[in-house]
Amino acid sequence: MSGTLPTNDFRTSLDQKQQRRATERDARRLRRRRNREQTSTQHFEGMSTDDEENQSDINLFSTQKRKLSRFFLFRK
């Protein structure tokens, strides 16, 4: 098969797009999992990587958030 669908294939272009997105999503998950395994970052299956921020990133975000909130408070 040359990568094209046969003419008697009943799938619609929408089905193909959904399948392609699902395949890409699975590939991203696999890539992230392999990256975590190589860096030995603790991960709990089912959690978003956003929930796994390290403490230094959390502190940096909090500092920047405070600075921005002060900036916008004084602009009023």
User: Residues of 9-46 as b/e, b for ≥16 C-beta within 10 angstroms?
Assistant: eeeeeeeeeeeeeeeeeeeeeeeeeeeeeeeeeeeeee
Q: What is the pLDDT of residue 70?
A: 84
**Is 20 part of any domain?**
yes
| Selection from 8-12, 22-26, 36-40, 56-60 with the highest mean pLDDT | 22-26
**Is 28 part of any domain?**
yes
**Is 36 part of any domain?**
yes
**Is 62 part of any domain?**
yes
**Is 69 part of any domain?**
yes
Residues 6+ apart with CB under 8 A from 33: 43
d(CA 58, CA 4): 47
- Whether pLDDT at 12 is above 80: no
**Is 18 part of any domain?**
yes
d(CA 52, CA 43): 7
Least confident of 38-42, 55-59, 66-70: 38-42
**Is 67 part of any domain?**
yes
Q: Which domain holds residue 29?
A: 13-43+52-75
Over the chain, what is the mean pLDDT? 77
Q: What is the pLDDT of residue 1?
A: 46
Query: How many structural domains compose the chain?
Result: 1
**Is 58 part of any domain?**
yes
